Structure 1
Amino acid sequence: MDLLTEPDTLSGYPFLDPVKEERFDPTVHLNYVPPEKKITMQDLLLSQSATATPIAGTVPFPLLSPRGVRAYRKALFQQDVIEKCASSPFPGTLVLRDAVKHSQFIRDFWTHPETMKIVSDASGVPLEVVMPTEIGHTNIQTEGATIAEMVGNLKVEPSVEKLELSLEERAYDPLKDETSIIPWHYDSYPYVCVLMLSETDGMVGGETYIKKGNGEAQKVEGPQIGHAVMLQGGEVQHLAARAKGVAERITTITSYCAQIRNIYDSSYTTNIRPYADLGSLYPEWTRYRLRKLRDEITHYLDKAEHESNFSFQREELQSVITQQIEYLQRTSRQMVSPEYQEQILKKYGKAAYYDVFRIWETVQDLPEFETLASSTDQERGWMPESVYWMDLQKSIETIRMKKPLQSTFGTHPWSKSRKYYMGDELLRQGLNEVFLDWLGSSGLWDVYSKHRVSNEFK
């Protein structure tokens, strides 16, 4: 739901706090205490790939002072921010995106050198913000069926209201419950900082679970109000448990990449394309990726021109060039045509877009799977001139050479005994829209839909 679908809300929100936002002051608004523990890739029994740096995440640590929390909430709940940034994917959930473009406080807080030093120190690696549109993405759980109703429940002063919980809700287990606010996933960008802006006393759930190398889930307690956690979410698979027992839950998230040359940048736009303004996202994405490319090339050139002991190695240069070619290709592939995306989402729905991995797992167990997938890939009647066919052949050759594949779900060797299909390739690249299109063209979507309907009536 968008604000434009609610004309009555455009006349204003008289219940919003009319006081102007504060000017960010790190000596007043910050209350940083280093995290007591940092979780390493080794702790999680995960091997470190070219994508990863050693620190996988942190336990919660204090970041904002009480005044800082209220100043941030005041900045969020300005009428200008609500009118220009609010959307609601479903009742009870409010999303504020691009608030940084309408709030000086939010922009100054996340980009201030002191804040940048804090998140870098907590992560054990120098970080830089990915791009403006990924600063302060805010998710709000609160009561209400419309944007106006949800906004009406929000105040600058954090709510301390507790909700009565049933015995079933108190026994909530996010590892067994399919209603987790965000199921098992990898983030679109290498690092995230998740900051809590609500009181958590009485809250059940709200934790993050990280999947270890042995398949077990390690719990990281959710942050208290004013606290934050850092997570290398682009490299570790994690789950965000739904919060119960509180009237509101407000988290705000900023995404980063490592400011280190020769560290593979595992960014994708997959998770955000369906709800982002692509007219704004794609130019920012292009500038971000080209700056990274420029820095990588400059890093190599500086060594070649200024290091006295530099020795030209043809193999090293060829490796650098190959990496940058692949980087540019990934950059291009992530900019799916807005018209094409709109067409696919209208046909299959956003729910299917975000559920592609479960759909693919279900499809693989159907008796028609191998026949339909093989014939579609062999005949190439679907998008016959697409560059995706070249991508598929390159991945098949990578598998034949027993090398790992880089993907939206980490860097892993192909471990299945069956053939590698176009469906696998499109999911590897995070092209969920294109995957649904291929699935429909192959006939597998119809088979899946019939299977789903038959199971519902059992």
Structure 2
Amino acid sequence: MWKPPTVIGPATKKATRPSNKLPQSLIDGAKIAKKDIFDPEKHLNFQPPASVYTMEQIGLKGHGISPHAATEPFPLFTEEAIRQMRAEIFDEKVLAECQYSSTFNKNMVRGMGPARAPFTYDAWKSPEVLEKISQVAGIDLVPSIDFEIANINITFRDENEVEQTVNLMPSKELSAVSWHYDSFPFVCVTMLSDCTGMVGGETAMRTPKGDIMKVRGPAMGTAVVMQGRYIEHQALKALGGRERISMVTCFRPKSPLVKDETVLVGVRGISDLSELYTQYTEYRLEILEERIRHQLKKEREREVAKKPFNIAEIKRFLTNQKLFIESVLTEIQEVD
């Protein structure tokens, strides 16, 4: 039986705050006069991607939960929406409570939640936004858990550093994040920085045959959707510019009947474990509940129709739920 790819997480085992401070200019520059509430008519700027790569194209036909692998960057949010999100990310309370660091990323903001970041939270919970994300993903999706709304990766150049011009040769490209698989079925990576003058920043995908395919780097307000749980990929470094801030929002299938091979390996060491485990357990139990209700309905309908009991079908269903429960037990771990 085919198994999903193994996810390798950061060496960081416990939530750790960054040791390097963010530039004050970054924080001051994110301040806005008035905070707004998310309005899709005002803040959504969706245009379909020019192209969508399929799982078949990258040699993974039949794998994952959708035939869609990854999109080219596409417009998603207006500049005003990005300003509102940045204002929440660089808010003093958020920075005091939601900064994380790992061996993969030195500076992250995670787990802001609806109280600290209502605009960002409402944006990713918006039916209009979810409709567009699902459209390009080729399957109905919902945010994985609230703690993953959202993960913001922040890289910046020291303000005293002299900018250098770097010529990238194909064989010498630098990676911002090493080759990896994601913990969640789908991700949406939204660019929150002005990328004018930047070089690089592509997402590279490696096929089972070892070939490399690239998706060009996004511009501010644009996004890339990828089935990252099943595709080996890495982010290439973007050179030029003083900052690169990207927002990664994780998604899972909306239907409880679709397989969900979410793992916590990649996020356990960069999360508040109580929040993470609570939200993860709750949604997994909800899936189990819906699956049992669905199967129970089928059984009652079978009985009314006076059809014979199907031993093989029930055993298959129960075995799948047993494996599902065992996967939850595997992910909920004590961390020393």
The normalised TM-score by structure 2 is 0.85
**Candidates 233, 237, 252, aligned match of 2:247:** 252
Question: 1:260, CA displacement in angstroms?
Answer: 2.9
1:271 equivalent to 2:284? Answer no
1:325 equivalent to 2:322? Answer yes
**Candidates 296, 301, 314, aligned match of 2:296:** 301
1:322 maps to a residue whose letter is T
Which entry has the higher C-alpha Rg, 1 or 2? 1
The structure whose residues are more often helix, as a share, is 1
2:38 maps to a residue whose letter is F
SS at match of 1:45: coil
**Residues 91 and 53 of structure 1: is their aligned pair in 2 closer, same or farther, counting only changes over 3 Å?**
closer
Aligned to 1:183: 178
Aligned to 2:5: none
The structure whose residues are more often strand, as a share, is 2
**Residues 16 and 54 of structure 1: is their aligned pair in 2 closer, same or farther, counting only changes over 3 Å?**
closer
1:163-174 superposed matches below 5 A? 164-166=163-165, 169-171=166-168, 173=170
Question: 1:17, CA displacement in angstroms?
Answer: 2.2
SS at match of 1:209: strand
Question: 1:16, CA displacement in angstroms?
Answer: 6.3
1:2 equivalent to 2:17? Answer yes
* Separation in structure 1 between the aligned mates of residue 261 and residue 73 of structure 2, nearest angstrom: 24
CA deviation map 1:197-222 (0-9, x unaligned)? 11112212211111123220110111
**Residues 118 and 79 of structure 1: is their aligned pair in 2 closer, same or farther, counting only changes over 3 Å?**
same
CA deviation map 1:313-360 (0-9, x unaligned)? 221211111111111111111122122xxxxxxxxxxxxxxxxxxxxx
Aligned to 2:125: 111
CA deviation map 1:73-122 (0-9, x unaligned)? 12222222122112344899421111234111111111011111111111
1:256 maps to a residue whose letter is F
**Candidates 66, 71, 77, aligned match of 1:58:** 71
**Residues 84 and 261 of structure 1: is their aligned pair in 2 closer, same or farther, counting only changes over 3 Å?**
closer
1:286 equivalent to 2:258? Answer no
* Separation in structure 2 between the aligned mates of residue 14 and residue 171 of structure 1, nearest angstrom: 32
**Candidates 20, 27, 45, aligned match of 1:31:** 45
SS at match of 2:107: strand
1:121-160 superposed matches below 5 A? 121-144=135-158
Question: 1:38, CA displacement in angstroms?
Answer: 1.5
Question: 1:47, CA displacement in angstroms?
Answer: 3.0
* Separation in structure 2 between the aligned mates of residue 302 and residue 277 of structure 1, nearest angstrom: 38
Aligned to 1:336: 333
Question: 1:63, CA displacement in angstroms?
Answer: 0.3
Consecutive unaligned residues in structure 1, runs of 5 or more: 154-161, 340-458
1:84 equivalent to 2:113? Answer no
1:417-428 superposed matches below 5 A? none
**Residues 324 and 76 of structure 1: is their aligned pair in 2 closer, same or farther, counting only changes over 3 Å?**
same
Aligned to 1:342: none
1:170 maps to a residue whose letter is N
* Separation in structure 1 between the aligned mates of residue 324 and residue 104 of structure 2, nearest angstrom: 39
SS at match of 2:333: coil
* Greater RCO, 1 or 2 (C-alpha within 8 Å, sep 6+): 2
Give the aligned length. 314
Aligned to 1:238: 233
CA deviation map 1:110-166 (0-9, x unaligned)? 10111111111111111111111111110111135xxxx9xxx9xxxxxxxx97434
1:290 maps to a residue whose letter is L
Q: Percent identity?
A: 32
* Separation in structure 2 between the aligned mates of residue 207 and residue 186 of structure 1, nearest angstrom: 16
Aligned to 2:8: none
Assess if the C-alpha contact under 8 Å between 1:94 and 1:141 holds in 2.
Answer: yes
**Residues 326 and 15 of structure 1: is their aligned pair in 2 closer, same or farther, counting only changes over 3 Å?**
same
* Separation in structure 2 between the aligned mates of residue 332 and residue 72 of structure 1, nearest angstrom: 35
1:213 equivalent to 2:208? Answer yes
* Separation in structure 1 between the aligned mates of residue 191 and residue 32 of structure 2, nearest angstrom: 23
Assess if the C-alpha contact under 8 Å between 2:30 and 2:87 holds in 1.
Answer: no
SS at match of 2:200: coil
Aligned to 2:220: 225
Q: CA RMSD in A?
A: 2.8
